[in-house]
Amino acid sequence: MPLNLGNDGDGSSRIILTEPRGSTAEVILHGGQVISWKNERREELLYMSSKAQYKPPKAVRGGIPVCFPQFGNIGGLERHGFARNRLWSYDDDPSPLPPANKQSSVDLILKATEDDLKIWPHSFELRVRISISPGKLTLIPRVRNIDSKAFSFMFALRNYLYVSDISEVRVEGLETLDYLDNLMGKERFTEQADAITFDGEVDRVYLNTPTKIAVIDHERKRTIELRKEGMPNAVVWNPWDKKAKTIADMGDEDYKTMLCVDSGAIEPPVLLKPGEEWKGRQELSIVSSSYCSGQLDPRKVLYGD
């Protein structure tokens, strides 16, 4: 069990991960969710709603919710599945992963309850290792089929990134790719722009995406780089002003300082046979942006401060 435990006002524990240079991450067992990631200067890198609710069965709006076994409303379950609304446990046996550093990592597990099996009749073990290192936050999700029959599922890490001004942000790495537009009935389009910029609501599932995506925050002169494995989709979402006003646990102006760029295995879903395990990996890293004409040179984005 990690050595660093904090407490919320309601008595629930927060797991606080630290590393020697001073950056931190906070994790809660409700949803197995990262709710904070701060750099060594104590600057918050993840968005958390000003109206976030931390009490089950409501999911926490912000941080990095785990979406499983469904993403969005693609299926018959509650939106984004039930994993983000359940109480997770510490995972005492994360093998075959090597033992984790208890200061900077935590292993969590979620297993199906009887109530879960009534709405989604498949026995599973969902594990996530969360680790922090200088300038980097890493999540390694795994799903094991412990049922007697095969099942398929969707999975996503919904990354609520904290940005200075959404109208000054650009996303690079998704140009020329096909995407499903959730605002147009999941119709398929091809991305035409050199980079994604924002002047209205966006809700897209990009297909066959690369392992690296850059979110460039011009005002902060900072780039957050997303690297992922085993999750071929990237979801880009910002509700903009009208939709934000309809979301009960989101402040009316919050859309200006948040952007979701998610890693996912959504389209197509993952099929697991009995005894098989699926594994993904996501790294979020901070890179100091240095650009000439606003374009990010990908050769300079390999390693951050």
Which CATH number characterizes residue 63's domain?
2.70.98.10
Read off the pLDDT of each residue in 274-281 and give the average, rounded to a whole number. Answer: 98
Report pLDDT for 97.
85
3-state secondary structure labels for all residues of 213-238:
EEEEECCCCEEEEEEEECCCEEEEEE
Q: Which residues contact 156 (CB under 8 A, 6 or more apart)?
A: 66, 67, 68, 71, 80, 231, 233, 235, 262, 263, 264, 265, 266
**The total number of structural domains that make up the chain:** 1
Question: What tokens does 205 get?
Answer: 């599932």
Q: Measured between alpha carbons, how far is 275 from 125 in angstroms, rounded to an integer?
A: 11
Checking if the pLDDT of 295 tops 50, the result is no
Main-chain phi, psi angles of 237, to 5 degrees: -140, 130
Report pLDDT for 122.
97
Report pLDDT for 47.
96
Report pLDDT for 2.
44
Report pLDDT for 7.
61
Name the more confident of 239 and 296.
239
Name the more confident of 209 and 76.
209
The alpha-carbon radius of gyration of the chain (Å, integer) is 18
Checking if the pLDDT of 1 tops 60, the result is no
Q: Measured between alpha carbons, how far is 2 from 93 in angstroms, rounded to an integer?
A: 14
Report pLDDT for 8.
55
Q: What is the total residue count of the chain?
A: 305
Q: What's the whole-number average pLDDT of the chain?
A: 89
Lowest mean per-residue pLDDT among 76-80, 166-170, 264-268: 76-80
Label residue 279 by pLDDT band (50, 70, 90).
very high
Read off the pLDDT of each residue in 153-160 and give the average, rounded to a whole number. Answer: 97
User: Do the Cβ atoms of 39 and 249 come closer than 8 Å?
Assistant: no
Checking if the pLDDT of 140 tops 80, the result is yes
Q: What is the pTM of this model?
A: 0.91
Read off the pLDDT of each residue in 75-101 and give the average, rounded to a whole number. Answer: 87
> What number of CA atoms fall less than 13 Å from residue 127's CA on the CB side?
20
Name the more confident of 146 and 221.
146
Checking if the pLDDT of 196 tops 90, the result is yes
Q: What percent of the chain has pLDDT over 70?
A: 90
Q: For residue 96, give its domain range.
A: 4-303
Question: What tokens does 304 get?
Answer: 């951050």
User: Do the Cβ atoms of 216 and 170 come closer than 8 Å?
Assistant: yes
Q: Any idea what the Cα angle at residue 242 is, between residues 240 and 243, rounded to 5°?
A: 70
